[in-house]
Structures are given as structure tokens and as C-alpha cells.
Amino acid sequence: MTYSDGTRSVHAGLPAPVVGEPFLPGPVFAAPYHLDPATGPGEHGYARTEHPTRELLESAIGALEGAPALVFASGQAAITALLLAVLRTGDTVALPADGYFTVRAFAETTLRDLGVKLVLIPTASHPYPDLTGVRLVLLETPANPGLDVCDIRAISAAAHAAGALVAVDNTTATPLGQNPLALGADLVVASGTKALTGHSDVLLGYVAATDPELLGRVETWRKQTGAVPGAFDCWLAHRSIATLDLRLARQSQNAAAVAELLLTRPDVTGVRWPGLPSDPSYPIASTQMRRIPGVVSFDLGSAERVARFLESAELVFAATSFGGVHTTADRRAQWGDDTAPGFVRFSCGIEDTTDLIADITAALDSSR
């Protein structure tokens, strides 16, 4: 039986029912476990290597991505583990020029010092550059924060023909928004800190892959370097995944309304949302993605106007990160990101659409 997204979210990774036990067993707080003095470790010996609460979360994420998954202490822990487990001195890695900036910073320092060559490719490149000589291509689609998208299926086919592996950062879309492995990618990597868990209370990352040898390399890396999430964070994350379908549905509905509103405003420029038929991302997003995320980007012209807008809005928190149940807005240039001073990454929460639209309209009017 194949179930739809709401059912899959609720049941992802739950153990088979046991009379007298909870649906989702509580976090197991243990570093070492009792060993059999004669035979040594059984299923669980030491939590850096194996942990029951973490394994349940991994089976939940794996069920949604469609391949075995390994979780990490943050998205950056997952991405750097993937890069360092796959790349060797002399290799070339292709990264999105417009993707999550910390990944580029890592490549320009640590990877460069290790002798890994870097090429930066804008997500919306048409045609996509030749990948001959590249060992690994990391795609980020939709890219954060500009929301360009790329064709995972076409780029994966071209990369494989050139002998390159393909990894996709699925943070913004989430596994209910798109399944990169089904589209031909070799690896999926993501921050679970954002929409996947969605309550702004947990740092999490994961890597998923169909090829056991490839995922095994990442697992050995994690075991030897140790960036595992704690038991309580794993449990909180797993509990949150039950509502993923509901949260994404409301966030996407709110984003559609916010994008439509912003398009009518002469005092707002550069409105981007891949679900708008007029958006440059729409042709690929509408065929490749199963749903469009709740993130909208736009420009209010200056840092001062963004500040006035956020001071005036009651339902929009000034905060970084995105994908949470609360609506938030982040002026990216304050972090040294390569964006205009008035550029805003706006993350729609799950508030009622009419309340949100009224609040944003009033805040735009009074901040003009």
C-alpha cells in the first residue's frame, strides 16, 4: 500500500506497535550500554556509533527520502561530512555560486587547503556548464536565498556521463517537496533545522543515499569525527516530522498569498517565489517539485525600510533560518551575504493567511 504525504509524515519511522509502549518511544539517554561480558557488543554498544532514538529518526527521514539516511548534529555537519568523505586531494568539486554561503566559505578555506579545486556554478545556468573532470557536483534547488532552481534529472544525467557524482541540498524543498534520488541524484544532504522539523528549536542535518558503499563512507566519517545529534534533539525532530505535511501545506498557501500581494505593490521589487507562473523558476519547479516551499524573497530598497517594516509588523519575527511555524524575515546582507541591502528572505509560518496578509499590508504601508 502506498500512502499519501500526511499519512507518511505521521507514520514515518514509528516502530511496530507494542502493547503498553508509546507510539514514539521516548529519548534513550545513554552513551555506553550494558555489554555481554562474554560476547561483547550486541545491537547497541556505544552511542557515537549506534543509538536507538537516532535510528528511529533515521528510518523516518529515510522513509521520506526513499533511501537509508544518516543524521548529523547540524546541516553543516552533514554537508561537510559528505564533502570530506567523498573528495580527495586533486579532485574538483562544483558548488552552487548562489547557494548556502557557509558551504562556499568551507570550500574556499578547508577544501582549498586540502588541495580540492572549486568551480562555482550559478543554479539557473542555461546551458549548464560541461562537468568533465569534476568529481562531485552539489546542487541546491531551490537555492537559498535567491530561489533559483535547476533541473536535477538533466544535470544528473550529464554529470554521470562525465563521471561525476551528484548531491542535492534538499533543505528548502524537504523530502515532501522533491525527491532528488528518484530524479537521478546519488546523494541527498539537508539541514533538518529548517522546514523538516519546523519549530525553531533543533539543529539537525542528514545525508541519504541509495548506494551502500557511498553511504558507508559517510557513516565511517561520522563515526570517526563524531558529529551526531543528541537523543533529545532526535526525539524532538521525529515528533515534529508527524506534522510536516500539514505545516508545508499552510506555509505554501501563505507564501502564494504573500507573493501575490507583493507583486501588486509598487514599493516592493524583485519578488521571487517558484510557485508564481511569472517566476523564472516556475517552468522547472512546477514539473520537478511536488510542492513549493513557504519561502519568498524580495527587496524593500534599503536596510532602514526593512527595519521599519519589521518593527511595524506584529506577526513577522526578525530572525534568520526559515521553514518554522512562525513567520520570520531575514535581511541577508546583515550576515555578510552577497545580497542587496534591502533584500529580504521571508519565511511564511502557519498563521492564518488573512491575518498574515493584513499584518504585512499594514507594515508595508506604515514603513513606506
At closest approach, how far in Å is the CB of 173 from ligand PLP? Answer: 10
**169 sits near ligand PLP (criterion: CB under 6 A):** yes
Question: In the 3-class helix/strand/coil scheme, how is 292-337 assigned residue by residue?
Answer: CCCEEEEECCCHHHHHHHHHHCCCCEECCCCCCCCCEEEEHHHHCC
Q: Which is nearer to ligand PLP, 189 or 268 (CB)?
A: 189
> Which listed residue (53, 178, 193, 252) binds ligand PLP by CB under 6 A?
193
Asked if 75 touches ligand PLP (CB under 6 A), the answer is yes
Measuring CA to CA, which residue among 123, 124, 126, 130 is closest to residue 103?
A: 123
Query: Binding string, 123-162, against ligand PLP, x = CB under 6 A?
Result: -----------------x---x------------------
Residue in this structure with the C-alpha cell 509588523, named with its chain if needed: 313
Strands of 69-72's sheet in order across: 69-72, 205-209, 187-191, 165-169, 136-140, 92-96, 117-121
Beta bridge partners of 251: none
Tell me which stretch binds ligand PLP (CB under 6 A): 2-10, 108-116, 165-173, 358-366.
165-173
**Residue whose CB is less far from ligand PLP, 178 or 193:** 193
- Between CA 149 and CA 262 the distance in angstroms is 21
Nearest CB to ligand PLP, comparing residues 46 and 317:
317
Would you count residue 197 as binding ligand PLP (CB under 6 A)? no
Contact of 196 with 247, CB cutoff 8 Å: no
From 155-163, 164-172, 285-293, 329-337, give the range in contact with ligand PLP by CB under 6 A. 164-172
Residue whose C-alpha cell reads 568523505 in the numeric block: 85
**Does residue 191 touch ligand PLP according to CB under 6 A?**
yes
- Binding-site member from 205, 274, 294, 342 for ligand PLP (CB under 6 A): 205
Give the count of residues interacting with ligand PLP (CB under 6 A): 15
Regarding 186 and contact with ligand PLP (CB under 6 A), the answer is no
Among 83, 84, 98, 100, which residue sits at the site for ligand PLP (rule: CB under 6 A)?
100
Residue 73 CB, nearest approach to ligand PLP (Å): 8
Question: Does residue 233 touch ligand PLP according to CB under 6 A?
Answer: no
> Which residue lies nearest ligand PLP, judged by its C-beta?
75
Tell me the C-alpha distance between 78 and 76, whole Å: 5
Residue showing cell 506534522 = 243
Q: By CB under 6 A, is residue 206 in contact with ligand PLP? A: no
Cα 156 from Cα 151, distance rounded (Å): 8
Helix intervals (H) in 187-302: 212-225, 231-241, 244-263, 282-288
The verdict on 74 binding ligand PLP (CB under 6 A) reads yes
Member of 9, 53, 76, 251 binding ligand PLP (CB under 6 A): 76
Contacts of 296 (CB under 8 A, 6+ apart): 147, 255, 258, 259, 262, 271, 272, 273, 346, 348
Tell me which residues touch ligand PLP (CB under 6 A).
74-76, 79, 100, 140, 144, 169, 171-172, 191, 193-194, 203, 205
